[in-house]
Chain A
């Protein structure tokens, strides 16, 4: 039983911590594999908008030639944009190949070292855009043939005719531990733009700096140069973000699908460490506790001439053996569960203890070191016994022996860890519930979104046709759909309180049916209405910078949220809101147009005639989901027979926003359950030993008139004291950890005191049940039996 508990505990502990460490190492390995990783930077732009979200991972497209011309430190600049494409092998085909692509320019080869297998992709072939495909793409779609020179087709949603790409090369698969995770590289000629004082387009820029460049100096230089170039009140500044930091140290979830974060790594490493500590404590406790049974054996050995050294050696060997057996099992489980972990994470793990041999050796050596270190304590405790008292079995029962103290401290540590983890678990669960049930200001159920497409003038007739379907309630052609950014565009408006400050505002544009389709809550005024001319005016040719307003035209209508009204001091409706060239016709409740990770920002909805290129929202009656979608599909086919319909339930889209959190929560739940189980296993074993050691005492007490319940209370008292102490120790740590984690959320729960109480009560209950189970066994034994052992 003892060996069983020990091996199970160690196996699970080693297995789980190896798994967690693998995930952590993989996360830390992002983008270090590029040959010139030290010199690669992503260009960030910083605006002084007065808000929090003033930094984003793009820069003005016009910077491209300008930067290289003006700064000799910059070796090359390349625009790199990750997007999802649907490719077709035939021009007319409904079969599409979904891939993730790096959309870039020929300069890319100066920055990143992709391994070329076939073709000469570095030479840009004029005429068509070049496509470089990965080895697995080639194997799957061009098995046994050389695809170089072949044409592949792509029909983007904004076009009618497919674009042709020429395959110019095959590269080895791009490793998954890069934020530029992709299946293909799409190379287009560099876009050349010149600076416009009023208007910028933006690109994702990566640069490679010459060796020895001081990034800080360069940044200052670039900022100065830019300030001199444009005549802006507050010119933007730049930041060169090292490529190694991109994965873990970026706050731009909207722009970067492959993104990790530091707190996850921190928490996971912590869990790995705790799992290991719990497993080791189990081992020490169980082994030391069992010395009671082994004293006789050691006594005999010593009398037969074994020295202290021999005994220590014997116990170290035993400890090593336990660890080795557990390592073998642990590694087997680890190996077996890697595919599941990869499927769970959604990407391959590049670095594991299996693929990287030297890591395995390191892990093995660490385990050996731990096993020896852990084996030392029980070895010395046992070898220190005097042979005579060991034989008599009288040792280790003194009241305040130091051994007892060590055991008690270790158990307390273990309880503390379990309780802290339990508290963490409860708080994570509460936060997730909080986010899931929070009213986001619009009705996300029974709402369908169609991805952006160019309507070819058929948008409105498509909408009319959809409205004929019996289950369709509202349809809106809109430039914003939930989860796809905060709005259609951003606006900076002067702060009515502080003239020098600008307030960044999200603008959502949609047709007059958008507010009703979203089911926004009206507080004051009216929602949009098609009968008002001002609610369906086209924005074509409109410029926010236009100095002279067309006075003949009425102002366009807009809706402001309560928060926006407060910030911009909108008190009266139907008068112009400065800086927007609209007049608010209604005041609506706040709604979360971004994920709840972001704080509410001022948001205005502009009414507009349906755009040529936009998305669509459809409000339906609850009905069979599949039927609903297929009915919409049928209508789509009539209008756009060649087009792929990008359609999603808004609920699903919103859930995807939190998929990282959901994964993290699952991981956390899994590992914390393991740690709880381990701790319990240890405590179970320990109580068993405590009871076994005191079985005689139980007998004596029963002879003297003790009842069964008083015996259970006797044992429970000493363990419960430790649990209470553990609750006190765990509370500050758990509180600190949980509040750190919660900081990531703009909307979070308050940590309630009773969470700690509940965690304590749960632990106490579990320990009590174990205690009652074990001590009852001892308490009902007839004292005649337990006293006969002499």
Chain B
């Protein structure tokens, strides 16, 4: 599903040019659950953003389902992203002015889906995430765990092929964190590919494969024994 070859990303400020990603090669197969780990500033989030088509690489090739993404314009990236990708953030990134229902509905609106279809999909995913009773609440009125469930609902409502999660449990206590990881695992088992950036060893154990990043380069890749054992 994801084929990344010799990917480089550099950021230029007035004085220095910093190389955030240096010659990264990474393949992710459909249905895989990959965790990207590494210390702060190693380029994890940059890699995730490029995979999520929020950012363009400086050099190298990135193919998403055999589409070359590298040179696409913003409008084209947006089109490719819509419906194919779902995002889960550490800080949830829900829109405070919108209700739970409206937040989850948003990606469907941008897919230009009609109202009744939207309603059906949103309600289905909210039921599934066990948050339907809160549909009329605003994000501020929910607990952190509930907010992240809403965020995951929003990420999956379009049935994306790929979910990108950036430290999804970072702002949660362990009970809620485990719950979120179980949800992601469940989605993965249903066929959704997941790429997750994390600091947490516990979370990384849910993944099939762990990619360790250091100074913009992949230093080790390891298959997850525990996971295999569980599977």
Contacts and interface: CB of A to CB of B under 8 A. Distances in A.
Given A696-B93, A697-B97, A705 B138 contact: no
Contacts of A701: 95, 106, 110
A697 B81 CA distance: 18
A784 B48 CA distance: 11
Interface string B76-90: 001001110001011
Interface stretch (A140-148, A287-295, A392-400): A392-400
16 contacts: A397-B97, A398-B140, A399-B96, A399-B97, A696-B93, A697-B95, A697-B96, A701-B110, A703-B52, A703-B54, A704-B107, A705-B110, A705-B111, A784-B49, A787-B89, A790-B90
A398 B96 contact: yes
Interface string A695-714: 01101111111110010000
Contacts of B75: 707
B55 interface: yes
A787 B166 CA distance: 12
B8 interface: no
B154 A398 contact: no
A705 B87 contact: no
Nearest to A710: B110
A782 interface: yes
B140 A394 contact: yes
A403 interface: no
Interface in A662-719: 696-697, 699-707, 710
Given A696-B93, A700-B95, A707-B75, A399 B110 contact: no
B91 interface: yes
A705 B78 contact: yes
B106 A704 contact: yes
Interface residues of B, number: 25
A782 B52 CA distance: 13
B110 A706 contact: yes
Given A398-B138, A784-B54, A705 B82 contact: yes
A614 B91 CA distance: 93
A783 interface: yes
Nearest to A694: B97
B46 to A, nearest CB: 9
Contacts of A782: 54-55
A740 to B, nearest CB: 43
Nearest to A701: B106
A478 B219 CA distance: 109
B139 to A, nearest CB: 10
Specify which of A398, A703, A783, A787 lies most central, judged by the most chain B CB atoms within 10 Å of its CB.
A703
Contacts of A707: 75, 78, 110
Interface in A338-388: none
Contacts of B140: 394, 398
A394 B139 CA distance: 11
B156 to A, nearest CB: 12
Contacts of A703: 52, 54, 87, 93
B138 A399 contact: yes
Nearest to B111: A705
A710 B82 CA distance: 14
- A-B complex: 8 closest residue pairs judged by Cβ atoms: A705-B110, A705-B82, A397-B96, A704-B107, A790-B91, A700-B93, A784-B54, A697-B95
Nearest to B79: A705
Given A394-B96, A701-B106, A705-B78, 14 more contacts: A394-B140, A397-B96, A399-B138, A696-B93, A700-B95, A701-B110, A704-B87, A705-B82, A705-B83, A705-B110, A707-B75, A782-B54, A784-B55, A787-B93
Contacts of A705: 78, 81-83, 107, 110-111
B45 to A, nearest CB: 8
A399 B106 CA distance: 17
Contacts of B138: 398-399
Contacts of B89: 787
A397 B91 CA distance: 16
Contacts of B52: 703
Contacts of B111: 705
A706 B79 CA distance: 9
Given A398-B140, A701-B106, A783 B96 contact: no
Interface string A391-417: 000100111000000000000000000
Given A398-B138, A704-B110, A705-B110, A783 B95 contact: no
A702 B81 CA distance: 10
Interface string B58-79: 0000000000000000010010
Nearest to A397: B96
Interface in A258-315: none
A783 B54 CA distance: 7
A790 to B, nearest CB: 5
Nearest to A780: B74
Contacts of A702: 78
Nearest to A703: B87
A704 B155 CA distance: 8
A702 B77 CA distance: 11
Contacts of B106: 701, 704
Nearest to B170: A790
A433 B89 CA distance: 63
Interface string B119-134: 0000000000000000
Contacts of A699: 93
Nearest to A702: B78
B94 to A, nearest CB: 8
A783 B91 CA distance: 14
Contacts of B83: 705
Contacts of B107: 704-705
A783 to B, nearest CB: 6
B206 to A, nearest CB: 23
A707 B112 CA distance: 12
Contacts of A700: 93-95
A25 to B, nearest CB: 48
A783 B96 CA distance: 17
Contacts of A696: 93
Specify which of B81, B93, B111, B140 lies most central, judged by the most chain A CB atoms within 10 Å of its CB.
B93
B128 to A, nearest CB: 19
Contacts of B96: 394, 397-399, 697
Interface in A770-785: 782-784
B19 to A, nearest CB: 17
Contacts of B82: 705
A783 B93 CA distance: 12
A397 B97 CA distance: 7
Nearest to B84: A705
A697 B83 CA distance: 19
Contacts of A787: 89, 93
A573 to B, nearest CB: 80
A165 to B, nearest CB: 82
Interface in B18-60: 49, 52, 54-55
B179 to A, nearest CB: 22
Contacts of B90: 790
A401 to B, nearest CB: 10
A703 B89 CA distance: 11
Nearest to B164: A703
Contacts of A697: 95-97
Nearest to B50: A784
Contacts of B78: 702, 705-707
A696 B96 CA distance: 10
Nearest to A696: B93
A394 B95 CA distance: 11
Nearest to B53: A703
A695 to B, nearest CB: 12
A651 to B, nearest CB: 61
A705 B157 CA distance: 13
Contacts of B87: 703-704
A418 to B, nearest CB: 27
B226 to A, nearest CB: 31
A704 to B, nearest CB: 5
A173 B224 CA distance: 103
